[in-house]
Amino acid sequence: MHTVVIIEDNDVVRMTLRALLRHAGYQVVGEAGRGESGIELVRSRRPDVVCLDVQLPGMNGVHVLRELRTHWPTLPVVIVSGYTDRETVTELIECGADAVVVKPFTEARLVDAIRRAMNARRVATVRDR
């Protein structure tokens, strides 16, 4: 069973993500409503994948993504956001996001994005060896 950390400030979205992920067979090992606490969860829980919002209080999702890439370059990160403007999406991809899921989302879209992200990172890791 793959493990997930959710970094999302909206309680309803976080609850929805948790329910959808559990239904799809993932184990949610931590949830954070702020970027800084999300990074600490990743550090302590070592998840297989992170679901990350862009708009967070304190450290925003772009800064969190940069931190994750610095410390865990092979960790799959799926952005779950309502911000879909070209500039934001381009910045997220340039910073190392593996997939972007637009709110509102379905379980199928979320799970597909996570699988693609995990497969892409696995391939990249094998190639880097």
Instruction: Provide the pLDDT for residue 127.
Output: 43
* pLDDT tens, residue order, the chain (129 aa): 999 999 999 999 999 999 999 999 999 999 999 999 999 999 999 999 999 999 999 999 999 999 999 999 999 999 999 877 888 888 999 999 999 999 889 999 999 999 999 998 765 544 444
Give Cα separations from 122 to 11, 47, 49, 76, 86 (angstroms). 31, 14, 12, 9, 27
pLDDT of residue 82: 87
Q: What is the pLDDT of residue 83?
A: 78
The pLDDT, as a whole number, for residue 129 is 42
Residue 6 CA to residue 53 CA, distance in Å, equals: 8
Sorted by sequence, the CB contacts under 8 Å of residue 41 that are 6+ apart come out as 5, 7, 29, 30, 31, 32, 47
Q: Which tokens in the block code for residue 11?
A: 């309680």
CB 1 within 8 A of CB 27: yes
For residues 65 and 82, give the distance between their C-alpha atoms in angstroms, rounded to a whole number: 16
Q: What are phi and psi of 66, to 5 degrees?
A: -60, -45
DSSP conformation class of 24: T
pTM of the model: 0.92
**Are the CB atoms for 7 and 53 separated by under 8 Å?**
yes
Q: Which residue has the tokens 């400030």?
A: 9
User: Residue 123: what pLDDT?
Assistant: 55
